[in-house]
Amino acid sequence: MIVSSNADVAAVLYEIGEILTIKDDRFRSRAYLLAAQRITSLTEDVKKVKERGELDQIPGVGKSIAATITEVIDTGESKVLEELRESLPPGVRQLMELEGIGPKNAMRLVDELKVSSIDDLEKAAKEERVRVLKGFGEKKEQNILQSIEDYRNRQTRFLLGAILPVVDDMLAWMRESPAVLRAEVAGSYRRRRETIGDLDLLVASDDPDAASARFVAMPPVERVVSHGSTKSTVFLRGHLQVDCRVIPPEAYGAALQYFTGSKDHNVKLRTIGVKAGYKLNEYGLFRREDDKLVASETEEEIYKTLGMDWMPPELRENRGEIEAATEHRLPKLVELDEIRGDLHCHSSWSEGTMTIEEVAEKARALGLSYVVITDHSKSLGIARGLDEKRLREQGKEIDALNRRLRGFTVLKGIECDIKSDGSMDLPDSSLEELDYVVASIHSGFKNDEETMTNRMVSAMRNEHVHAIGHPTGRIIQKRKPYPLNLERVFEEAAAQHVAMEINAFPERLDLDDVSCRQAMEAGVVMSIGTDAHALNQMEFLPLGVSVARRGWLTSKDVANTRTAKDLVRLRRG
DNA sequence: GCCGTTTTCGGCCCGACTGTTTTCAGTCG
């Protein structure tokens, strides 16, 4: 197998790092994990960097890891990884999937109980063979059985869009308690990652016991995993884990910074802190020599003391934001209230459930000043796609509606299929009547990279196309992106002034954050659309803005910040 | 394994909770 993507290369480095962690080789492990993370967020194809011989200029990549990357690109394999895999007794990594089982215990269980799988371990625990081991006991044995049950039930990660209402309810519950002065969810939720593994609830309180008690008494709590005065963990129904930390109000900023992460961001920050003579933890920034508290109330003062500008949570992934903040050159990220329109919306003319008028009313209620109606085109028969005739009829309905609306505009659009030969599903004579054309691929996902890339490029060369819809076709945790040479696509998009969509549908979020940044760096403008098929789905727009922000986009990089009049002139640059 | 305003060696982020341990190791985030 010849490796093709940055993700493949990163996966090898991650696995090496993970195995080194098990072997307690902490620092080498960290080196590999950090390098893996850097490759993941690289906005350029790592093969290109390799061809230029500049692998070791990637931060965190030195001679040795550069050699591993080269080997992986050339052969698809890594000797280092293979040797490490072989050095590990079978079953160890599987056991570590269990909550509460780390490297030490996994190794001992495999070694002393001769188990090589979770199934084996379950049998041993049920036969009470675990409790007799030194350092284990009845309680640990019970916890192992519970962890095995959780493991079999658990959903890997939750979609951000599915988590939003859960968080709203949780915060409302906590804020009702007089012991709770402030409450917020930090972690990957606050950074707006596309999926969330668990929630990190942060509570400011002068009465930690009462605040913690309030937390574990929350209605949707299914099981309390741990319950201390400042730190508790529960599982909600649906097996969503929530960690709660209670801190004194004067340390809220420090705690918020600390628990927002990401881990890599924090490690880097603390390393810089150490070099400057500080110690940073969830209670504040302290001077090392005398342990004097220097900053803790707000995130701003902590970053400032470390010589940096405050940075939006969406940027905190150790993707260069710390360097940018130190040099005072952080981008001014696009804001939700700069978004004037939704650029991808269906109606009952195709597979949507709402009339165009309902769409307009909803968009106006959301604070927008225009919306583009983009129903499917004819070849998507299953979605009642529009042919030339129905599209014309729809246009008349929109004209009539616009005559009635005041201070709001419905734009005529289409989500036009890109056919397998790269041509459009509707003739130019139809497309040129429209204000905004989104062109999407809905078939042939198994074609090779060359074919798919050519197909998309030829669509962009149609002068009536304004944007490419859900450019990679991925469905989070369900369907991989179809093979595509994004670099070539972005190059063409920039040259043609065609926008790339950020599809805000929770399962799509396509382009993703890293690709957005890559597109922006190539000079491409992004087009945010909800792809709503029902009225409440139009509320997904903030998810699209989150992706844009995670991709370092400013208002000029986002087509939606334009007025309707400027939007339809997108192709003129 | 990587890195450098403590530089080519010697560091590498920090604290809470649990279970088992009589003083702490393991795990997690």
Which CATH number goes with the domain that contains A108? 1.10.150.20
| A135 CA, B23 C1': Å apart | 14
Give A258 or A382, the one with higher predicted confidence.
A258
CATH of the domain at A267: 3.30.210.10
Domain presence at residue A23: yes
Read off φ and ψ for residue A140, nearest 5 degrees.
-65, -35
pLDDT surpasses 90 at A299: yes
Residues 223-242, chain A, CB closer than 7 Å to nucleic strand B: 226-232, 241
Query: Domains in chain A: how many in total?
Result: 5
Model confidence pLDDT, tens digit, residues A555-564: 999 999 999 9
Model confidence pLDDT, tens digit, residues A136-164: 888 889 889 988 888 887 767 899 998 88
CA–CA–CA angle A200, A206, A210 (5° rounding):
70
User: Is the same domain home to A63 and A189?
Assistant: no
Read off φ and ψ for residue A377, nearest 5 degrees.
-95, 170
Of A33, A36, A40, which is closest to residue A5 (Cα–Cα)? A40
pLDDT surpasses 80 at A382: no
Q: How far is CA A424 from the centre of its chain?
A: 31
The Cα A216–Cα A246 span in angstroms is 12
| A242 CA, B25 C1': Å apart | 25
Instruction: Report the share of chain A in percent with pLDDT over 90.
Output: 64
* Nearest nt by C1' to A246 Cα: B16
Per the CB < 8 A criterion, the answer to whether A203 and A247 are in contact is yes
Domain presence at residue A262: yes
pLDDT surpasses 70 at A291: yes
A135 touches strand B (CB under 7 A): yes
* CB-CB neighbours of A100 under 10 Å: 12
Domain presence at residue A331: no
* Out of A28-42, A335-349, A446-460, least confident range: A28-42
A335 touches strand B (CB under 7 A): no
* CB-CB neighbours of A466 under 10 Å: 27
| A26 CA, B11 C1': Å apart | 13
Domain presence at residue A480: yes
The Cα A17–Cα A35 span in angstroms is 9
Per-residue b/e over A470-480, b at no fewer than 16 CB within 10 Å? bbbbbebeeee
Residues 140-179, chain A, CB closer than 7 Å to nucleic strand B: 140-141, 143
Q: Which helix (H) or strand (E) holds A412?
A: strand A409-417
Per the CB < 8 A criterion, the answer to whether A305 and A295 are in contact is yes
The Cα A551–Cα A183 span in angstroms is 27
Mean pLDDT over A329-343 rounds to 97
Answer with the one of A307, A326, A345 that is the final residue of a domain: A326
* Nearest nt by C1' to A57 Cα: B2
Give percent helix, percent strand, percent coil of chain A, each to the nearest 5. Answer: 45, 15, 35
* Nearest nt by C1' to A67 Cα: B1
Per the CB < 8 A criterion, the answer to whether A547 and A506 are in contact is no
Tell me, yes or no, if the pTM score tops 0.75: yes
Residue at minimum CA to C1' distance from nucleotide B20: A135
CATH of the domain at A425: 3.20.20.140
Residues 252-281, chain A, CB closer than 7 Å to nucleic strand B: 259, 263, 266-267, 270-271, 273-275, 277, 279-281
Model confidence pLDDT, tens digit, residues A417-466: 999 999 999 999 999 999 999 999 998 887 888 999 999 999 999 999 99
User: Is the same domain home to A141 and A165?
Assistant: no
A137 touches strand B (CB under 7 A): yes
Residue A321 exposed, middle or buried by CB count within 10 Å (0-12, 13-18, 19+) = buried
User: Is the same domain home to A187 and A265?
Assistant: no
User: Is the same domain home to A452 and A342?
Assistant: yes
* Nearest nt by C1' to A68 Cα: B1
Per the CB < 8 A criterion, the answer to whether A335 and A552 are in contact is no
Q: What is the DSSP letter of A530?
A: -
Q: Which helix (H) or strand (E) holds A34?
A: helix A26-40
pLDDT surpasses 60 at A315: yes
User: Is the same domain home to A406 and A460?
Assistant: yes
A409 touches strand B (CB under 7 A): no
Answer with the one of A247, A282, A313 that is the final residue of a domain: A247
Residue at minimum CA to C1' distance from nucleotide B16: A231
User: Is the same domain home to A307 and A214?
Assistant: no
The Cα A366–Cα A534 span in angstroms is 14
The Cα A447–Cα A460 span in angstroms is 19
Domain presence at residue A170: yes
Read off φ and ψ for residue A466, nearest 5 degrees.
-100, -30
Residues 12-31, chain A, CB closer than 7 Å to nucleic strand B: 27-28, 30-31
All residues at 6 or more sequence positions from A258 whose CB lies less than 8 Å from its CB, including other chains: A266, A280, A281, A282
Mean pLDDT over A301-317 rounds to 94
Model confidence pLDDT, tens digit, residues A188-197: 999 999 999 8
User: Is the same domain home to A350 and A496?
Assistant: yes
Residues 48-77, chain A, CB closer than 7 Å to nucleic strand B: 56, 59-66
Model confidence pLDDT, tens digit, residues A108-128: 899 899 998 999 999 999 999
Between β-strands A370-373 and A409-417, what pairing exists: parallel, antiparallel or unpaired? Answer: parallel
Residue at minimum CA to C1' distance from nucleotide B6: A275
A558 touches strand B (CB under 7 A): no
The Cα A525–Cα A535 span in angstroms is 26
User: Is the same domain home to A230 and A367?
Assistant: no
Residue at minimum CA to C1' distance from nucleotide B12: A27
A205 touches strand B (CB under 7 A): no
* Domain boundaries, position A290: 252-326
Read off φ and ψ for residue A278, nearest 5 degrees.
-120, 165
A4 confidence band (pLDDT: 50, 70, 90): low
User: Is the same domain home to A141 and A164?
Assistant: no
Model confidence pLDDT, tens digit, residues A519-530: 999 999 999 999
User: Is the same domain home to A561 and A487?
Assistant: yes
User: Is the same domain home to A417 and A517?
Assistant: yes
Domain presence at residue A436: yes
pLDDT surpasses 70 at A93: yes
A37 confidence band (pLDDT: 50, 70, 90): confident
Tokens for A403, please give them: 């005559």
| A544 CA, B1 C1': Å apart | 38
| A334 CA, B29 C1': Å apart | 30
* Nearest nt by C1' to A108 Cα: B26
Could you write out the three-class secondary structure of A42-65? CCCCHHHHHHCCCHHHCCCCCHHH
A84 touches strand B (CB under 7 A): no
User: Is the same domain home to A238 and A274?
Assistant: no
The Cα A132–Cα A400 span in angstroms is 80
A477 touches strand B (CB under 7 A): no
Residue A319: C-alpha distances to residues A39, A59, A144, A344 (Å): 10, 10, 37, 30
Of A497, A505, A564, A484, which is closest to residue A526 (Cα–Cα)? A497
A138 touches strand B (CB under 7 A): yes
* Nearest nt by C1' to A198 Cα: B29
Answer with the one of A286, A305, A326 that is the final residue of a domain: A326
| A274 CA, B14 C1': Å apart | 12
Domain presence at residue A46: yes
Domain presence at residue A1: no
A24 SS3 class: coil
CATH of the domain at A24: 1.10.150.110
Residue at minimum CA to C1' distance from nucleotide B18: A226
Query: Which nucleotides of strand B are protein-proximal, with an atom < 7 A from a CB?
Result: 1-3, 5-6, 11-21, 25-29
Mean pLDDT over A282-297 rounds to 88
The pLDDT of residue A1 is 45
Per the CB < 8 A criterion, the answer to whether A433 and A414 are in contact is no
